[in-house]
Structure 1
Amino acid sequence: MGADAPHLTPPEPTVITVDGRPVLSRADIHEQYGYATSMLERWWKDREDNGHPPVAHRIGNTLYWDAEEWKAWDHQRLNPETAGLANRDQLAARVGLTRAQFNRLWADRDANGHPQPVRTVGRAHTLYWDADQWAQWFERHRENQRAKAEPPPTIAAADDTGPDDEIGPADFARILGLKHPKWVSQSALTPPPGFPEPDAWDELPSGRRRPRWRRRRAQAYADTRHTITPTRTGRPVGSGQRAHPYQGDPRLTLARQVLADRPDAKTSELVEEALKQAGDKTTSARTWTLILKTAREHPEPTP
C-alpha cells in the first residue's frame, strides 16, 4: 500500500432499534456478554421459570430482545439479593438461623404466617423471598415467640383454659409430644386409627382451613394413642386393588407436602424432614424413601 493510500477504519456495527430503543439478537448478546449460544437458548427455553424478558422484535427467524431489559434481567440473575431478593440460605445467614431452622419455619407457614416466595429461579427451582418483607416478618415472629415464652402474669390467667376449650394443631402437637404441628394438620384430613375428628374449622385469610379440637378430646387421644392398632408400615392392606402403593395413607399426603416445600432437596434430606414432621418412629427411613418415590410419581391424590 502506497504512502498516499487513505487509512480505512472498520465500519461501526449496525444497531437495530425499536421505537427508539436498541434491541439485541442472540448473536449480539453472545458478542457483548460472552455467554455461549447454547446457554442463551437454554435460558430462553426456561423463561417461565427464570423470568427471561420477552421478545421485543423479530426479523425472519431471528429474535431480538430490548437491550436494557435484558441487561437488567442478567444483573438480577447474577445478583438476586441486590435486587431485593434473597434465597433461604441468605435469609438464614442474616439472622443466624441454620438451614434446618429456616426449613421448619417455612414448613409451619400456615401457623406462623411465613411470607410466600416471590420468585423461582433456574432448573433447581430455587425459591427467593423479598428480603425486607421477610426480615420484618421474622422480627414480628421472634417477638411473638418471646412473648409466648414469658410466664403468665397471674395464676388466674393460667386457669382460664379448660378441657372444653378448643385448641389448634400446634397445641394438639404439644400434647402428643411432637415438635411440629404438620402431622396433626395432615391427620385431620386423612385420620389414622382413633384420631378425633375436628370440632370446628377456622377459615384462614390464605383460603385454607385450620382444624380445632376440644382439649379433652386431644388429651384422650394422647392417652390412648399407643393402645390403638397403629397404621401398618410398608404397603397398605388391599393395595393390590389400589391405583398405586400407599393410596389413602396419611404418610403419602405428608410426603407430597414435604416435596412441595423442598423441591430442591436431596432424597436423604426429604426423608429426614418427613421423619421429623411425622413424629412416627414406627416408619423406617427406607419406607419413607418408598413413600416419597410414590409421591413424586403421583403428586396429586388419586380419586
Structure 2
Amino acid sequence: MITIEGRAVLSRQDIHTTYGYATSALERWWSERDANGHPPAILLNRTMYWDQEAWEQWDHWRLNPESQGLAGRATLCKELGISVRTFDRLWRARATNGHPSFIRRLGRVMYWHHDQYVQWYRDLQPAEPQPRRGRPAGRRNDPAGYAYEGDPRLALARQVIADHPDARTTDLVQILQDRTHHTWARSTWMHILKSARQHPEG
C-alpha cells in the first residue's frame, strides 16, 4: 500500500487482499461507475489506485445504500403502500409523469432520493378521491346531473384531455391509470373520459 500526496491509496490488488472482494467484482463495479458512483482512479505507472478513505466510504454506502437518504423499489413500495407492478408502471411512464431519476444503481438495483420520491408520489396523486358525484353512467333520466358530475376524477380527465389533445382514448386511459396508481378499472376511465368530452366545462 502506498501514498500519493500524503494520502493512502489502494490498488485493485490491495482491495482484493485487504477486503477479500473478487477481482471480477471489483472490475464490474469500476465498469459501472457512471451509475454506481464508484470513486475515480489515479493512474500511476500504468496501475490504477483509489483514495483509501473515499473507497471505504463508497464501499460502506454500497453495503448500506439506504443509509444515505436513498431508497430502493422494495422500500418505497412498502412505505407508500403500492405494488411492485404499479411502481414499475410509473417508472415506465416517466416521460409523461415526471418520475424522478434514480440516483445510484448497483447492478440491476436502482436507488432514488427517498424524500424526493415520496414528495413526487404525493404530488402525483389527485386530491383525495371521492367516489362519483352526480348520477352514475348509464342512468340517463336521473335528475342528479350528468355522469360523474362533481367527481374529482372528471376534473382530472378534463385536464389530461387538455394536456394531450391528440392522444387516443386508450392512451389517455393509460395516463390516468398511471397518475392514480391503477385504483380504478380501464372501463371506469372510459366512462369518465366520455363524460369529460361531453361536458368539457365543470
Gaps of 5+ in 2: 135-143, 177-195
Residues 241-280 of structure 1 aligned to structure 2 (within 5 Å): none
CA, structure 1 residues 20+130, in 2 after alignment: closer, same or farther (shift >3 Å)? same
CA, structure 1 residues 101+72, in 2 after alignment: closer, same or farther (shift >3 Å)? same
The aligned residue for residue 31 of structure 1 is 17
Letter in 1 for 2:83: T
Deviation at 1:45, TM superposition (A): 2.9
- Do 1:108 and 1:180's aligned partners in 2 also have CA atoms closer than 8 Å? no
Gaps of 5+ in 1: 1-14, 183-213, 217-303
Tell me, in whole angstroms, the C-alpha distance in 1 between the residues paired with 2:170 and 2:12.
59
Letter in 2 for 1:71: E
The aligned residue for residue 124 of structure 2 is 141
- Do 1:167 and 1:215's aligned partners in 2 also have CA atoms closer than 8 Å? no
Letter in 1 for 2:174: H
Does residue 215 in structure 1 map to residue 197 in structure 2? Answer: yes
Deviation at 1:134, TM superposition (A): 0.7
Tell me, in whole angstroms, the C-alpha distance in 2 between the residues paired with 1:33 and 1:176.
54
Tell me, in whole angstroms, the C-alpha distance in 1 between the residues paired with 2:31 and 2:89.
33
Count of residues in Structure 1 that have an aligned counterpart in Structure 2: 162
Deviation at 1:178, TM superposition (A): 7.0
Deviation at 1:39, TM superposition (A): 2.1
Deviation at 1:120, TM superposition (A): 3.1
TM (norm. structure 2) is 0.63
Residues 187-226 of structure 1 aligned to structure 2 (within 5 Å): 215=197
Runs of 4+ displaced beyond 6 Å: none
Tell me, in whole angstroms, the C-alpha distance in 2 between the residues paired with 1:49 and 1:87.
14
Which whole-Å deviations, capped at 9, do the CAs of 1:86-139 have from their partners, x for residues lacking one?
2222211222211011122223335543322223332x3x33210111112223
Q: Which of 57, 62, 67 is the aligned partner of 1:82?
A: 67
Deviation at 1:169, TM superposition (A): 4.3
Residues 95-174 of structure 1 aligned to structure 2 (within 5 Å): 95-122=80-107, 124=108, 126-142=109-125, 144-147=126-129, 151=133, 158=149, 167-169=162-164
Letter in 2 for 1:167: A
Letter in 1 for 2:98: G
Q: Percent identity?
A: 42
What SS does the aligned partner of 2:174 have? Answer: coil
Q: CA RMSD in A?
A: 3.8
